[in-house]
Amino acid sequence: MKAQIKGMGHALPERILDNKELEQMVDTSEKWILERTGIRERRIIDDSETTSDLAYRAALMAIGNAGISVEELDLIIVATASPDMLFPATACVVQEKLGAWNAAAFDIAAGCTGFVYGITVAEKFLLSPEYNNILVIGAEALSRIIDYTDATTCVLFGDGAGAAVLSRSDSEAGIIASYLGADGRGGQHLYIPAGGAAQPASLETVEKGLHFLKMNGNEIFRFATKTTVEVSEKIFAMTGVKAEDIDLFIPHQSNMRIIKTAMKWMQIPPEKTMITVDQYGNMSAACLPVGLSLAAEEGQLKAGDLVLMVAFGAGLTYGGVLLRWGSD
* 62 backbone dihedrals φ, ψ, rounded to 5°: -65, -45
> Using CB atoms within 10 A of its CB, is residue 87 exposed (0-12), middle (13-18) or buried (19+)?
exposed
pTM, 2 dp: 0.96
Is 112 marked active-site? yes
**pLDDT tens profile 240-292:** 999 999 999 999 999 999 999 989 988 999 999 999 999 999 999 999 999 99
Q: What mean pLDDT is predicted for residues 232-239?
A: 96
Q: Is the pLDDT of residue 305 over 60?
A: yes
Residues forming beta bridges with residue 175, ordered by sequence position: 323
Cβ–Cβ contacts within 10 Å for residue 189, how many?
18
Q: What mean pLDDT is predicted for residues 85-105?
A: 98
More confident site: 327 or 114 = 114
Residues 6+ apart with CB under 8 A from 198: none
Active-site residue, from 10, 252, 255, 287:
252
Structural domains in the chain? 2-171 (3.40.47.10), 176-324 (3.40.47.10)
Is 252 marked active-site? yes
Q: What mean pLDDT is predicted for residues 136-163?
A: 96
Predicted pLDDT at 326: 84
**Angle separating helix axes 287-297 and 114-126, nearest 10 degrees:** 70
Nearest CA-CA partner of 307 in 4, 1, 60, 55: 4
Active-site residue, from 112, 133, 154, 287:
112
Q: Is the pLDDT of residue 327 over 60?
A: no
Residues 6+ apart with CB under 8 A from 282: 39, 112, 142, 156, 157, 158, 252, 253, 254, 255
Q: Are 322 and 5 in contact (CB under 8 A)?
A: no
Q: Is the pLDDT of residue 199 over 70?
A: yes
Is 132 marked active-site? no
Residues 6+ apart with CB under 8 A from 146: 153, 154, 157, 212, 213
